[in-house]
Amino acid sequence: MDLVHALQEPLKNALGQATAKVMAEHLDLHTVGDLLHHYPRRYAERGELTRLSDLPLDEHVTVVAQVATARVLRFNGGSGQRLEVTITDGSGQLQLVFFGRGIHKPHKDLLPGTRAMFAGKVGVFNRKMQLAHPAYQLLRGEGDADSAAEAVDSWAGALIPLYPATAKLESWKIAKSVDAVLPSAQEALDPLPPALREGRGLIPLPEALLKIHRPHTKADIAAARDRLKWDEAFVLQVALARRRFADAQLPAVPRRPSPDGLLDAFDAKLPFELTDGQRRVSKEIFDDLATEHPMHRLLQGEVGSGKTMVALRAMLAVVDAGGQAAMLAPTEVLAQQHHRSITEMMGELAEGGLLGGAEHGTKVTLLTGSMGTPARRKALLDLATGEAGIVIGTHALIEDKVQFHDLGLVVVDEQHRFGVEQRDALRGKGKQPPHLLVMTATPIPRTVAMTVFGDLETSVLDQLPAGRSPISTHVVPAQDKPHFLARAWERVREEVENGHQAYVVCPRIGDTDDESAEPKKGGKGKKKAAADEDGDKRPPLAVLDVAEELAHGPLLGLRVEVLHGRMQPDDKDAVMRRFAAGETHVLVATTVIEVGVNVPNATAMVIMDADRFGVSQLHQLRGRVGRGSAPGLCLLVTDMPEASPARARLGAVAATLDGFELSRIDLEQRREGDVLGQAQSGVRSSLRMLAVIEDEEVIAAAREEATAVVSRDPDLEHLPELRMALDALLDAEREQYLDKG
């Protein structure tokens, strides 16, 4: 049987239309291969049944237990009846209930002493946990007593796979479907080169698929998992290694700074010493810029570690060498901020060609979508003639009419906010591929960098420049302790009285167009009641409402302004200028201030509904304060109860300023998403067995092996099975994503 037909056969041929439809709609499984790669989440074992004492509320569960009692009760004057069954597994008890006509079959099946698997959603009734109308499968044989006993024995000796399931498709129904397609596993072609597989002591792929679905022992499961993790890590790393190999074949113009040129002049006028980290990373970048193929480097560093300084020195080196450098920012606010801070840092060096400009100077041009026509025309001319050595802009830089004289370096700030197509379009504007530097202030654990950004070399800035102040962070439980919130506003007043400024961040803007940002929780009449009942049900707090309340309430008399993404660009810039100049005391904003905004005099930040932001995002936001010599204060306001996971998350943010530690926590809570596609798109992850955080050693080893394989055989001519696995992984969308990375 041909591999393509065996594993790519549609599930409807193997399982029938009805089951295939449910699998496609609820589990995104379409082919035999998809189902074979839908692995059990865990296994129920003999004697060690799922503990009823640990059941999570409101979740779909599968339990293996024994019926202790079963009784029929009548209600509504005898017209209604319900079956109550109590099951036990030794650790605890659970009640099952069946109503009306639905009681007949379970009443016959679920006799005391019967052992079965039950699946349903855990609810509470009369303060007791229960499953209402659970699906169940009896664990006993058909026919005579001997065969029944035999079936129980064979069940008792087996490991029962429990699959990720849905209300529409219970675990054992998935198991039956797997049984139907399991013979096709023999047809699976093995993507691992035999030498690698034998050298690493890994079992063949057909055997791994058999053992993951139908293990006899725990050792079977371990061997299968080791093997399947390697598949995922290796195929992914081969894709990235081929990308790196192809990039290394591209030509690029080496850019070496000229001695006594612009870079030296800039360094000479710096009023502070560069940190050791900045020097080390700059050297890595300068070494890359001097080579004849394009640099592809990821620069990650803590909030405020001085990435912009490193990027600026790289841009100056390229201008020194006769090229141009473009910096791409995700928002107009940030582009204007970068333009302002870079021209300030450079002083007269940013006035090339102007009276009073330095002899080594160059022009630093801003290009955004909202510029007036005359200013835009002038900026485009400066780029086309080469007059502007450095250009800073938003995606307006990517438009067709933007032409560069000689684009040598592209710096992308906050890569995760840019589509890959946009990065690619900008890279296409050089005569030869320009060098690429991607910056992110979101710390990325090493393993994630090796997967998500595996086609880039990585540099890390992990020390803060001298003079940076510590930030203290506290959780403010507004619901439990309203006086804590009152005290938060007093603290903001105290900071302002001491000559400082503050941010207040809200999740929503709050005008009428903003409904999409609001969870749809029913009609208006329900909102108040829902809010009282559960902090998570009310709409998130909004900038416009909170600013109004503060200006007329706790912050009366202070100058309060708002900033959000739907304001006109000129208005946004004016607000930021007034705040930077100290004219505004308190800025109430959305996450538009999350990245790059630099106001050293801002010392306090209050984040409303902090539980609605991710861990890394809270860390980013917090990095906006404590940027000067005075210590920073960040208050995380939440209505969530103390025992909730949301509060635990906020506690983690308050407990550490280490962004790498927080990014690990964030990733563990969110899972990896699809590391090749858009990370949070909800696409079924291409990583089913590999955990990016836990399997660091496998990923590092796979990267090494993949690099070696690709350098020997870049087109994988001698490894057809690996090439097929790669094609399956890199469907059109992901292939494009990698190609443009």
Identity (one letter) of the amino acid at 73? L
Provide the Cα torsion 71, 74, 75, 78; round to 10°. Answer: 180
Across the chain, mean pLDDT equals: 82
* Candidate ranges 139-148, 320-329, 626-635; pick with highest mean pLDDT: 320-329
Express each pLDDT in 339-376 by its tens digit: 988 998 898 888 765 555 566 789 999 998 888 889 99
Express each pLDDT in 287-316 by its tens digit: 999 999 989 898 988 766 788 899 999 999
Identity (one letter) of the amino acid at 706? A
Structure tokens at 119: 């699946």
Q: Which residues of 612-630 are buried (b: 16+ CB within 10 A; e: fewer)?
A: bbbbbbbbbbbbbbbbbeb
Please, which residues bridge with residue 508 across strands? 542
Helical residues (DSSP H) of 276-409, grouped into ranges: 276-289, 307-320, 332-346, 373-385
Looking up tokens 């969530």 gives: 640
The CA distance from 210 to 187, in Å, is 12
Express each pLDDT in 1-14 by its tens digit: 344 457 788 998 88
Q: Residues for the chain: how many in total?
A: 741
Q: Where are the beta strands (DSSP E) in 170-274?
A: none
Q: What is the structure's pLDDT at 432?
A: 83
Mean pLDDT of 27-42: 89
Q: Of 435, 438, 440, whose CA–CA distance to 318 is shortest?
A: 435
Express each pLDDT in 629-685 by its tens digit: 889 999 999 999 888 888 888 998 999 887 777 877 776 665 444 444 443 333 335
The CA distance from 699 to 373, in Å, is 51
Taking only Cα atoms into account, the Rg of the chain, rounded to an integer number of angstroms, comes to 31
pTM for this structure? 0.65
Q: Are 618 and 652 in contact (CB under 8 A)?
A: no
Q: Of 332, 469, 349, whose CA–CA distance to 413 is shortest?
A: 332
Q: What is the DSSP string of 369-402?
A: TT--HHHHHHHHHHHHHT-EEEEEESGGGGSTT-
